Chains A and B, each alone.
Chain A
Amino acid sequence: MSEPIKRLRRPALWTAGAVLLLALPFYLDRFWLQAGLFAMAAAIGAIGLNLLTGATGQLSMGHAFFLAVGAYGYCVLAGDSTATLTGLNLPSWLAAVLAVALAGVAGGLFSPIAGRLQGAYLGIATLALIFIGQHVLFNAHDLTGGFNGRDVPPLSLFGVTFDESELLVAAVPFGSAEKLWYVALLALAGCALFARGVLRGRPGRAMNAIRDHRIAAGVMGVPVARYRAGVFVLSSMYAGLAGVLLALVFQRTVPEYFGMILSLEYLAMIVIGGLGSVAGAVVGAVFVSLLPQLLTRYSDALPLVSAPGTGGVAPGEASRYLYGAAVVAVVLFLPGGLVRPALRRKTTTPGE
């Protein structure tokens, strides 16, 4: 009697979750929709980083660079040419696809280094990407708009433009956030399923083998350098897509956002959520990106936290302390991250 019920529980939970996520734009206000969109974009980027760092054991500090390539790539490819800015004026869906490809190419250019360096050494080398990225973003004015950044052209897909022109769906006005919600949800679902397939299949086993025992991986026939390079490219493309989505949500890209702190935030996401798994990346991304929003929304109700500029601890800052503490707590007490609290420190290393 209870067997079929147990077997139905998982699909039932997934269906309920999917319905809930699909219905949210009808109920949430703009603030929470933005926050949710932000979390979904971050989740895509975190899945990519978890493929590289969690599943393959290759540290990257350069994730923010590839997010920037995606975000700015989209702006340049889809944007109009003006007196001060270069734009190729491509159809926006094509620009989005090409921006992801561009992030992949950027990852490919770095992959000879990513293939040769191991673990923490790669982390140090990828710091260079942040510095190069920041320099270019601030100085290549005609591409990036320099310090002030540039506007993000709205996405249009199948004749629907994801801007503020309101569409009435079941008597609920759909602005850009509502419409983008479904694009982001679809992108996240696709990215999550793809990564899950990779992790559970032959490439995932090879990646985990490289992380757990590099020498044995080679002896078992895994071309270690080629795999590291391949995963690096894949993870760059995930970051590129996350960058495109973030740009669409923010509607403006600014260079200082894509700094070292952003790379650290993505690392915090996968450590907090759980290294090496898709669910870990998603949970961590939701945690790290919603925390500052929660603190902002309820700053007056919380002790010590106050609205920005009023003298107390600003919400952004407070959330950084909080997830800094969360990272330490997870590393010490929950090596499997939030998604696998049962995992004990001694028995296994983090991973699928």
Chain B
Amino acid sequence: MSTGAPTLEVRDLTVRFAGLTALDGIGFTVRPGTVHAVIGPNGAGKSTCFNVLSGVYRATSGSVRFGGEELTGLPAHRIADLGVARTFQNLALPPGATVEDSLMLGRHRLTRTGFVAAGLGLPYAVREEARHRERVREIAAFVGLEDQLARPAGTLPYGQQKLAELARALCMEPKLLLLDEPVAGMTAGERRATAAVVAGVRDSLGISIVLVEHDMGVVMRLADSVTVLDFGRLIADGTPASVQSDPAVVRAYLGEEATS
């Protein structure tokens, strides 16, 4: 696997929805191969930021550069082609498909079989399918879902569905992985396991990760750097330790502390 993940640079990013400024000129840099956390109270604009990075929302102004490419203005599938993968805060797994088929969707950008080849069952399509199912099983084993592959994704417990979504993103063999609250709604055991998977991804695959998470334990353990947002504004940026003692951050988090 390539370790040459490009740098992600977000500059002066502003997103407005009819009257509401969800992101107000924020900027941060994710160095290759690091875990960068984006934290902040609910409604701070974290998911909106991910939606811009992945091409789901259009930025009102500002720039997002990933290596040599400008991501703002690209459609979602072109951004995926550049090796950007993400998970959703609220699950986005197909309810009926098996876990294995759900993960196979992650291989879409890495495979070529079209309508004719699939319809006629051409040997090359069959070989491609088998090869990528093999890799999907490896990735499922990596996150600990190897025994669930044949089950419909919708029948898994919530925590495992989140894990399946993480696995699907990994199936894209991304260079940049965007995780939107990957351990929210999980049991303590699932949280630990998922944090270990994320750490494993960083250490063994060398890809950059942007992590949105409320669980401060997980953030402090995994993140190399942290950006703090509040009401769409950037209020702090730095190492986990420096951010944690920042008075502005403490103020923004008062009252949040009890719930997380």
Kindly state whether residue A270 has any CB partner on chain B within 8 Å.
no
Instruction: List chain B residues, Cβ under 8 A from A223.
Output: 75, 77
Instruction: List chain B residues, Cβ under 8 A from A234.
Output: 115
Residue of B nearest to A209 (CB): B105
Distance from B9 Cβ to chain A, minimum over Cβ atoms (Å): 21
Given A203-B113, A221-B77, decide whether A347 and B154 contact each other with a Cβ distance below 8 A: yes
Residue-wise, chain A 224-238 has the 8 Å CB interface mask toward B (1 for contact) of: 100000100010000
* A213 engages B94 (CB within 8 Å): yes
Kindly state whether residue A352 has any CB partner on chain B within 8 Å.
yes
Kindly state whether residue A327 has any CB partner on chain B within 8 Å.
no
Whole-angstrom distance between the alpha carbons of A198 and B117 in the complex? 8
Given A202-B129, A218-B75, A220-B80, decide whether A208 and B97 contact each other with a Cβ distance below 8 A: yes
Which residues in chain A, 181-224, are within 8 Å of chain B measured between CB atoms?
Answer: 193-195, 197-198, 200-206, 208-209, 212-213, 215-224
Contacting B118 at CB < 8 Å: which of A198, A209, A216, A352? A198
Kindly state whether residue B242 has any CB partner on chain A within 8 Å.
no
Instruction: List chain A residues, Cβ under 8 A from B36.
Output: none
Whole-angstrom distance between the alpha carbons of A348 and B155 in the complex? 9
Residue of A nearest to B97 (CB): A208
Instruction: List chain B residues, Cβ under 8 A from A194.
Output: 119-120
* A203 engages B88 (CB within 8 Å): no
Report how many residues on chain A are interfacial, defined by Cβ distance under 8 Å: 33
Residue of B nearest to A343 (CB): B96
Kindly state whether residue B175 has any CB partner on chain A within 8 Å.
no
Kindly state whether residue B247 has any CB partner on chain A within 8 Å.
no
Which residues in chain B, 82-127, are within 8 Å of chain A measured between CB atoms?
Answer: 85-86, 88, 92-97, 101, 104-109, 111, 113-115, 117-121, 125
Distance from A274 Cβ to chain B, minimum over Cβ atoms (Å): 12
Which residues in chain A, 324-352, are within 8 Å of chain B measured between CB atoms?
Answer: 347-349, 351-352
* B96 engages A348 (CB within 8 Å): yes
Residue of B nearest to A202 (CB): B113
* B119 engages A212 (CB within 8 Å): no
Distance from A214 Cβ to chain B, minimum over Cβ atoms (Å): 10
Kindly state whether residue B172 has any CB partner on chain A within 8 Å.
yes
Residue of A nearest to B107 (CB): A202
Instruction: List chain A residues, Cβ under 8 A from B119.
Output: 193-195, 197-198, 201
Instruction: List chain A residues, Cβ under 8 A from B106.
Output: 220
Contacting B81 at CB < 8 Å: which of A193, A204, A221, A349? A221
Instruction: List chain A residues, Cβ under 8 A from B114.
Output: 202-203
Residue-wise, chain B 154-184 has the 8 Å CB interface mask toward A (1 for contact) of: 1100000000000010001000000000000
* B95 engages A219 (CB within 8 Å): no
Residue of A nearest to B112 (CB): A202
Contacting B108 at CB < 8 Å: which of A197, A215, A220, A352? A220
Instruction: List chain B residues, Cβ under 8 A from A220.
Output: 80, 105-106, 108-109, 168, 172
Instruction: List chain A residues, Cβ under 8 A from B96.
Output: 208, 212, 348-349, 351-352
Residue of B nearest to A216 (CB): B92
Given A219-B55, A221-B80, A348-B95, decide whether A205 and B155 contact each other with a Cβ distance below 8 A: no
* B86 engages A219 (CB within 8 Å): yes
Distance from A110 Cβ to chain B, minimum over Cβ atoms (Å): 17
Whole-angstrom distance between the alpha carbons of A224 and B113 in the complex? 16
Whole-angstrom distance between the alpha carbons of A209 and B111 in the complex? 16
Given A202-B113, A220-B106, decide whether A213 and B121 contact each other with a Cβ distance below 8 A: no
Instruction: List chain B residues, Cβ under 8 A from A216.
Output: 88, 92
Residue-wise, chain B 127-160 has the 8 Å CB interface mask toward A (1 for contact) of: 0110000000000000000000000101100000
* B77 engages A218 (CB within 8 Å): yes
Residue of B nearest to A352 (CB): B96
Instruction: List chain A residues, Cβ under 8 A from B95.
Output: 212, 347-349
Which residues in chain B, 48-62, are within 8 Å of chain A measured between CB atoms?
Answer: 54-56
Kindly state whether residue B76 has any CB partner on chain A within 8 Å.
yes
Contacting B94 at CB < 8 Å: which of A202, A212, A222? A212
Instruction: List chain A residues, Cβ under 8 A from B80.
Output: 218-221
Given A220-B172, A221-B109, decide whether A201 and B77 contact each other with a Cβ distance below 8 A: no
* A208 engages B94 (CB within 8 Å): yes
Instruction: List chain B residues, Cβ under 8 A from A198.
Output: 115, 118-119
Distance from A323 Cβ to chain B, minimum over Cβ atoms (Å): 25
Instruction: List chain A residues, Cβ under 8 A from B77.
Output: 218-219, 221-224
Whole-angstrom distance between the alpha carbons of A249 and B117 in the complex? 31
Residue of B nearest to A204 (CB): B118
Distance from A241 Cβ to chain B, minimum over Cβ atoms (Å): 14
* B104 engages A205 (CB within 8 Å): yes
| Chain A residues near B (Cβ < 8 Å) | 193-195, 197-198, 200-206, 208-209, 212-213, 215-224, 230, 234, 347-349, 351-352
Task: Name 11 A/B residue pairs within 8 A (Cβ), A-sorted.
Answer: A198-B118, A202-B104, A202-B113, A206-B108, A212-B97, A215-B92, A216-B92, A218-B56, A218-B77, A220-B168, A348-B152
